[in-house]
Amino acid sequence: MVKILLAGFTGSMGQKAIKMIEDTPEFDLVAVYAPTADQSAAEYGLADSVAVFNDLNQIDADADVWIDFTIPDSVYKDTKFAIEHGYHPVIGTTGLTDDQEAELIALSKQKQLGGLIAPNFGLSAVLLMKFAKEAAQYFPDVEVIEMHHEDKKDAPSGTALSTAKMIDEVRPNHEQGDSKESMPGVRGGDYHGIRIHAVRLPGYIAHEQVLFGGAGEALTIRQDSFDRASFMQGVKVAVKNVKKLSELVVGLENLL
Ligand SMILES: NC(=O)C1=CN([C@@H]2O[C@H](COP(=O)(O)OP(=O)(O)OC[C@H]3O[C@@H](n4cnc5c(N)ncnc54)[C@H](O)[C@@H]3O)[C@@H](O)[C@H]2O)C=CC1
Ligand SMILES: O=C(O)C1=N[C@H](C(=O)O)C[C@H](O)C1
């Protein structure tokens, strides 16, 4: 049995995660956390045995794994708390800076605790990133367009940034177009010369396109997450296997 603490349980992803945990016989939800939580477990439709926390520093649950779907402003302190208290982190929340990520990895090594940060738990997105990295070796001219629901707090998405980082690892040094912007920002964000465009619209959930251009041809790789339930298979794999890791790693592909 894997005992789970879920941070961000009242949110869109938190609610899907509760269902996934309840539907998985070998998982046991022992505690939930959200700063706004002000009701009992039963009032949230949870078993009476589930401890409800609304203050990070009060958390003392007997859990093995900390699942985090909170907000970019809290993910660093949540993950640090999890590692310091011996909970294996499974982090879906986006927004960690490179420095924060490096610090958390160092802390996990020091504590010899396995954990996972996954910018995207969806198989289609994991494969998109893998294929984009492969294509970038042959098509160095590339731009990324990510499209999300209007409530998304961060831009670019963690997935788009991760895609750009993976492309940057293999893409030959390269200058790409030099249009002068007559409207600030119209060419999108710039990650080491890779342009990233973020769209926010009602009706969308999470989608990404990577566009490669070559002489007289183009390649477009696209993935669509139409339902947040699609992320849960990846979360399940992560929770089941995170203990096998010896430190905090980035990317679900490390466990597939
Ligand atoms: N890795 C992945 O596959 C996916 C990652 N995400 C990421 O997960 C995160 C959550 O997304 P949603 O559920 O859509 O957001 P949401 O806004 O629906 O839920 C956020 C949750 O965080 C809690 N929260 C608010 N302030 C907090 C604080 N200061 N400390 C701790 N918790 C706090 C809220 O009470 C709520 O429970 C986002 O960063 C999003 O980008 C979303 C989908 C898939
Ligand atoms: O906020 C979301 O919804 C999502 N966030 C993650 C990201 O920033 O990449 C994963 C997915 O795109 C959904």
* ipTM for the whole complex: 0.99
Three-state secondary structure string covering 209-253: EEEEEECCEEEEEEEEECCHHHHHHHHHHHHHHHHHCCCEEECHH
Structural element, H or E, at residue 168: helix 158-170
pLDDT for residue 175: 76
Co-location of 115 and 58 in the same domain: yes
Co-location of 92 and 26 in the same domain: yes
Co-location of 154 and 235 in the same domain: no
* Segments in the chain below pLDDT 50: none
Strands (E), the chain: 2-7, 27-33, 51-53, 65-68, 88-91, 115-117, 142-148, 189-191, 194-200, 206-214, 217-225, 248-250
Q: Does the beta carbon of 157 lie inside 6 Å of ligand 2?
A: yes
Q: How far is CA 151 from CA 71, 188, 201, 203, in A?
A: 12, 20, 9, 11
Establish whether 177 is an annotated binding residue.
Answer: no
Tell me the best of 71, 75, 90, 120 to mutate to test the pocket of ligand 2, counting ligand atoms within 8 Å of each CB and taking the most: 120
Tell me the best of 71, 120, 129 to mutate to test the pocket of ligand 1, counting ligand atoms within 8 Å of each CB and taking the most: 71
* Domain CATH code at residue 177: 3.30.360.10
Co-location of 217 and 139 in the same domain: yes
Establish whether 8 is an annotated binding residue.
Answer: yes
- Both ends of the chain: CA-CA distance in Å? 21
pLDDT for residue 88: 98
| Domain of 210, in residue numbers | 123-226
The answer to whether 30 touches 51, Cβ cutoff 8 Å, is yes
Quick one: which ligand is closest to 122's CA? Answer: 1
Co-location of 36 and 90 in the same domain: yes
pLDDT for residue 172: 82
Q: Does the beta carbon of 223 lie inside 6 Å of ligand 2?
A: no
Structural element, H or E, at residue 58: none
Domain total in the chain: 2
The answer to whether 235 touches 90, Cβ cutoff 8 Å, is yes
Establish whether 119 is an annotated binding residue.
Answer: yes
